[in-house]
């Protein structure tokens, strides 16, 4: 089931960066995606705006867990700003605040960003649900958090999706 999304990850679309806020993350990664031709010039502004209006932080500690799981965000924007179908993985050296997708008044410290790129309207549904299924498997994010190398992160995700 999840294997539907494994093709969407790419070795060169895994990043480990240090930024202070969501906007800086989108500017930094957005520029790289633009240079690779994966998004158009409207993407950065669009995703910043979307995240402000409809945040995408996911609290992964909604169930009782023995250990705290780092939270994630799953930013995405309208298909018109994307030229491809991919999932971009960003690990943050230091946590950044995102608002909770289902409770926008609540702020979450986020350690991983999974940016969904999709140039096909209406086809993002399965990507989103499959990605969330991967994220909700408790050990996945805990294990990813221990990896400090983008190749290792890529290989781990490929094994688990």
Partner 1 sequence: MIRILAACGAGVNSSHQIQVAIENEMKKRGYDVKVDAVVMKDITPEMLSKYDIFTPISKPKLGFEIKIPVVEAGPILYRIPAMAEPVYDQIENIIKKSNK
Asked whether 13 and 86 are in contact (CB, 8 A), the reply is: yes
Of the chain, the end-to-end C-alpha distance in Å amounts to 8
Query: Is 78 near partner 1 (CB under 8 A)?
Result: yes
| Residue among 18, 136, 8, 9 at smallest CA distance from 72 | 136
| Spatial distance between the Cα atoms of 76 and 106, rounded to a whole number of angstroms | 19
Given the complex with partner 1, which of 113 and 154 has the nearer CB atom?
113
Query: Is 129 near partner 1 (CB under 8 A)?
Result: yes
CB of 119 to partner 1, least distance (A): 12
Query: Is 84 near partner 1 (CB under 8 A)?
Result: no
Query: Is 50 near partner 1 (CB under 8 A)?
Result: yes
| Spatial distance between the Cα atoms of 110 and 97, rounded to a whole number of angstroms | 6
Q: Which stretch binds partner 1 (CB under 8 A): 14-22, 25-33, 97-105, 140-148?
A: 97-105
Asked whether 145 and 70 are in contact (CB, 8 A), the reply is: yes
Residues that bind partner 1 (CB under 8 A): 50, 53-54, 58, 62-63, 76-79, 101-105, 116, 121-122, 124-125, 128-129, 132-133, 136
């Amino acid at each position: 089931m999840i294997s539907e999304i494994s093709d969407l990850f790419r070795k060169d679309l895994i990043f480990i960066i240090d930024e202070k806020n969501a906007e800086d993350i989108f500017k930094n990664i957005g520029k790289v995606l633009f240079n690779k031709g994966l998004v158009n010039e409207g993407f950065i502004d669009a995703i910043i705006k979307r995240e402000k209006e409809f945040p995408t932080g996911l609290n992964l500690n909604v169930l009782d867990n023995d250990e705290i799981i780092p939270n994630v965000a799953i930013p995405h924007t309208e298909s018109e700003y994307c030229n491809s179908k991919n999932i971009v993985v960003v690990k943050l050296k230091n946590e950044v605040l995102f608002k909770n997708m289902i409770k926008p008044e609540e702020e979450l410290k986020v350690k991983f960003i999974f940016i969904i790129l999709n140039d096909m309207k209406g086809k993002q549904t399965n990507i989103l649900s499959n990605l969330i299924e991967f994220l909700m498997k408790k050990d996945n994010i805990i294990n990813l958090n221990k990896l400090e190398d983008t190749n290792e992160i890529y290989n781990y995700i490929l094994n688990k999706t």
